[in-house]
């Protein structure tokens, strides 16, 4: 029977609840248990697919095409497993299914109520994850912060689950301990208050994970222990780290894994974690030479925070491959709009070992990205285009090599005469009917790799499958013309005959893909395309 660990957050948001959840899951996995993680998001949106990246950060996509919170990306990266729609719960999805079941008379005509029917649906969904793969552990992250209205029903579900499985459920509260500069003392009061707020929901924390800029000292731990009714050994210090991948090791230094097992009367099944330790060693190796990667994108104007959040998987994928190539990743942002406005700005690209043009939506900044791609092509700078990055690389090639001066995408110019990138028929239908939710080309699609290409050198196999999230495609009407001028098709989806990869010959590394390889990169299993990109860029 599965065990469940709920992770809730106190004091404020963004204290690293997701990384804590992933890390707890990882240390249990390293003790030989089968583990998965679930994210509960309080929003009414059914999924994260319709949300603005500035507001929400990156939309992560699983193999089955679920558009979800970026925390699922962290779970996949830490656990090195593939998640699916079951691992993402939202208020929208929960209500949608309760209402649908009511319409189907599944409640036998009784009055369906917010409590207990909504929490019961949440419990049902969490149990389904455990049952599907006969897991030992499910670690569940409750979005939001204790004390707010939004996640009350999820805390209620957690409380009811403890009642249902008293010996199988634990609660961890992640809080933040501020240090007031002028006083120079780390304060525990907000943590005490958060713990009380959690008590108000009928939940007593088994663990308090104290996030702070520095480790918690003994007096701080004792205070938290006394006022929050938690054994001092279960007050876990979670100081800032220079890499989130170090958090599992920090937790283990504090003995978290063993404390969890002790409370649940379990024993380590199999000692593991050696590969994770090796990873941290590689990250910490100070002898690595820098590799400078520039990302030409937009969304910068709203501040660095939302930006890094919008491209988190790309950033992580670069890091994984840099470490695997024994390089120290230096990642910098280049504003596409600056390149667009300032004639000379594009030459900044020569300062980088490699350039990435990532995915995106809408026309803002696209002309700057096209200029950047042209510069990489002509100056033989290693270039990797992702999704929109491929579409723009096709447009650049059509304009500047094939002389189709007005080449563009119907996303930017719906009535263009030169739609190099266009909607497929089924997408036209979707758009006409305003059916925007979960209707992009999503999730894993097969791709056949062409022999003798950079792609086949990188992947070392003929058939791959990669995750997608887009509506527009390479327009096959232009295929013969572009290939006759030297464009190489590195991979095609066999069923729909869609171009998935384009490359250039006579260039050290110029490759652009319609999918999102970054979504499948893991620290212990870096993505082959990113690995090859970093390898060549390093030369």
* Residue 429 CB contacts under 8 Å (≥ 6 apart), including other chains: none
Q: State the sign of the Cα–Cα–Cα–Cα dihedral 395, 400, 401, 402.
A: positive
Binding mask 388-407 for ligand GLN (x = CB under 6 A): x-------------------
Our CB check for ligand GLN shows the closer of 164 and 496 to be 496
Q: Which stretch binds ligand GLN (CB under 6 A): 82-90, 192-200, 281-289, 470-478?
A: 470-478
Rounded to the nearest 10°, the torsion over CA 339, 538, 530, 484 is 70
**Least Å distance between CB 43 and ligand GLN?**
21
Residue with tokens 């958060």: 194
* Residue 305 CB contacts under 8 Å (≥ 6 apart), including other chains: none
Our CB check for ligand GLN shows the closer of 202 and 414 to be 414
Helix (H) or strand (E) segment spanning residue 174: strand 169-176
Distances (CA, A) of 436 to 273, 429, 433, 469: 42, 11, 8, 12
3-class DSSP state of 3: strand
Q: Which stretch binds ligand GLN (CB under 6 A): 231-239, 282-290, 468-476, 489-497?
A: 468-476
**Least Å distance between CB 395 and ligand GLN?**
12
Number of residues that bind ligand GLN (CB under 6 A): 10
**Least Å distance between CB 145 and ligand GLN?**
30
The one catalytic residue among 387, 470, 527, 532? 387
Our CB check for ligand GLN shows the closer of 141 and 466 to be 466
Which of 122, 283, 387, 393: binder of ligand GLN (CB under 6 A)?
387
**Catalytic: 518?**
yes
Which of 95, 227, 361, 412: binder of ligand GLN (CB under 6 A)?
361
**Least Å distance between CB 347 and ligand GLN?**
26
Q: Which stretch binds ligand GLN (CB under 6 A): 14-22, 24-32, 359-367, 475-483?
A: 359-367
Q: State the sign of the Cα–Cα–Cα–Cα dihedral 427, 431, 435, 440.
A: positive
φ/ψ (deg, to 5) at 492: -135, 145
Which of 319, 470, 507, 531: binder of ligand GLN (CB under 6 A)?
470
469 lies in the site for ligand GLN, by CB under 6 A: yes
**Least Å distance between CB 471 and ligand GLN?**
4
Residue 394 CA to residue 370 CA, distance in Å, equals 9
Our CB check for ligand GLN shows the closer of 311 and 510 to be 311
Residues 333-352 that bind ligand GLN (CB under 6 A): none
The one catalytic residue among 141, 374, 396, 518? 518
Q: Which stretch binds ligand GLN (CB under 6 A): 245-253, 312-320, 328-336, 465-473?
A: 465-473
Sequence length of the chain is 539
Give one word for 179, left, alpha or beta, with left for phi > 0 and alpha for psi -120 to 50.
beta
Rounded to a whole number of angstroms, the distance between the first and last alpha carbons of the chain is: 52
531 lies in the site for ligand GLN, by CB under 6 A: no
**Least Å distance between CB 241 and ligand GLN?**
30
**Least Å distance between CB 309 and ligand GLN?**
16
Residues 205-264 that bind ligand GLN (CB under 6 A): none
Which of 375, 472, 509, 510: binder of ligand GLN (CB under 6 A)?
472
φ/ψ (deg, to 5) at 385: -110, 135
411 lies in the site for ligand GLN, by CB under 6 A: yes
Distances (CA, A) of 53 to 48, 218, 300: 9, 41, 11
* Residue 468 CB contacts under 8 Å (≥ 6 apart), including other chains: 61, 387, 440, 441, 442, 443, 444, 445, 514, 515, 516
**How far is CA 274 from its chain centroid?**
24
**Catalytic: 228?**
no
Residue 116 CA to residue 14 CA, distance in Å, equals 30
The one catalytic residue among 228, 516, 527, 532? 516
367 lies in the site for ligand GLN, by CB under 6 A: no
Which of 360, 365, 382, 523: binder of ligand GLN (CB under 6 A)?
360
Our CB check for ligand GLN shows the closer of 35 and 357 to be 357
**Least Å distance between CB 482 and ligand GLN?**
18
> Rg of the Cα trace of the chain?
25
Our CB check for ligand GLN shows the closer of 66 and 192 to be 66
Residue 196 CA to residue 105 CA, distance in Å, equals 40
**Least Å distance between CB 317 and ligand GLN?**
15
Residue 272 CA to residue 238 CA, distance in Å, equals 22
In this chain, which residue has its C-beta nearest to ligand GLN?
Answer: 359
**Catalytic: 3?**
no
Our CB check for ligand GLN shows the closer of 470 and 520 to be 470
Distances (CA, A) of 299 to 34, 344, 354, 392, 435: 38, 21, 21, 17, 25
Q: Which stretch binds ligand GLN (CB under 6 A): 47-55, 177-185, 354-362, 522-530?
A: 354-362
* Residue 4 CB contacts under 8 Å (≥ 6 apart), including other chains: 126, 130, 137, 138, 139, 140, 161, 165, 168, 169, 170
Residues 9-28 that bind ligand GLN (CB under 6 A): none
φ/ψ (deg, to 5) at 490: -85, -25
Residue 399 CA to residue 404 CA, distance in Å, equals 5
Footprint of ligand GLN (CB under 6 A): 359-361, 387-388, 411, 469-472
Residues with catalytic annotation? 387, 516, 518
């Amino acid at each position: 029977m599965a065990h469940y660990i709920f992770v809730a957050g106190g004091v404020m948001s963004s204290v690293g609840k997701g990384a804590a959840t992933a890390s707890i899951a990882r240390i249990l996995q390293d003790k030989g248990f089968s583990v998965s993680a679930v994210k509960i998001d309080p929003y009414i949106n059914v999924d994260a697919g319709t949300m603005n990246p500035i507001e929400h950060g990156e939309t992560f996509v699983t193999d089955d095409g679920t558009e979800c919170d970026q925390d699922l990306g962290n779970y996949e990266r830490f656990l090195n497993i593939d998640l699916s729609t079951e691992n993402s719960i939202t208020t929208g999805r929960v209500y949608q299914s309760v209402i649908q079941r009511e319409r189907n008379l599944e409640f036998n005509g009784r009055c369906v109520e917010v409590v207990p029917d909504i929490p019961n649906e949440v419990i049902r969904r969490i149990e389904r994850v455990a049952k599907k793969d006969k897991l030992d552990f499910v670690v569940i992250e409750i979005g939001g912060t204790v004390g707010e209205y939004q996640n009350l029903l999820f805390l209620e579900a957690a409380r009811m689950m403890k009642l249902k499985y008293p010996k199988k459920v634990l609660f961890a509260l992640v809080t933040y301990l501020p240090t007031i500069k002028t006083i120079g003392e780390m304060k525990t009061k907000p943590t005490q208050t958060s713990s009380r707020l959690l008590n108000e929901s009928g939940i007593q924390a088994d663990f308090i994970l104290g996030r702070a800029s520095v480790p918690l000292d003994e007096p701080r731990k004792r205070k938290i222990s006394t006022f929050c009714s938690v054994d001092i050994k279960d007050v876990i210090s979670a100081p800032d780290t220079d890499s989130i991948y170090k958090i599992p090791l920090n937790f283990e230094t504090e003995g978290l894994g063993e404390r969890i097992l002790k409370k649940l009367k379990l024993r380590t099944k199999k000692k593991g974690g050696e590969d994770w330790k090796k990873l941290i060693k590689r990250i910490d190796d100070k002898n690595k030479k820098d590799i400078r990667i520039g990302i030409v994108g937009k969304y910068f104007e709203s501040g660095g925070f939302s930006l890094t959040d919008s491209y988190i998987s790309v950033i992580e994928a670069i890091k994984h491959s840099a470490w695997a190539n024994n390089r120290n990743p230096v990642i910098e942002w280049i504003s596409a709009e600056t390149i667009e406005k300032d004639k000379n700005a594009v030459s900044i690209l020569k300062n980088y070992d490699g350039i990435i043009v990532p995915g995106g939506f809408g026309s803002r900044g696209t002309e700057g990205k096209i200029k950047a791609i042209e510069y990489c092509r002509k100056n033989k700078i290693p270039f990797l285009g992702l999704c929109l990055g491929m579409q723009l690389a096709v447009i650049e090639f059509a304009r500047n090599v094939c002389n189709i001066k007005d080449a563009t995408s119907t996303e930017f110019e719906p009535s263009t005469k030169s739609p190099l990138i266009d909607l497929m028929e089924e997408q036209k239908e979707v758009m006409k009917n305003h059916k925007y939710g979960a209707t992009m080309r999503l999730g894993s699609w097969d791709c056949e790799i062409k022999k003798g290409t950079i792609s086949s050198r990188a992947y070392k196999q003929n058939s791959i499958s990669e995750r997608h999230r887009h509506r527009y495609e390479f327009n096959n009407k232009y295929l013969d013309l572009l290939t006759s001028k030297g464009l190489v098709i590195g991979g095609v989806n066999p069923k729909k005959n869609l171009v998935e990869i384009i490359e250039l010959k006579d260039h050290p590394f110029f490759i652009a893909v319609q999918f999102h390889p970054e979504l499948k990169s893991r620290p212990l299993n870096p993505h082959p395309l990113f690995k090859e990109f970093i390898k060549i860029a390093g030369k």
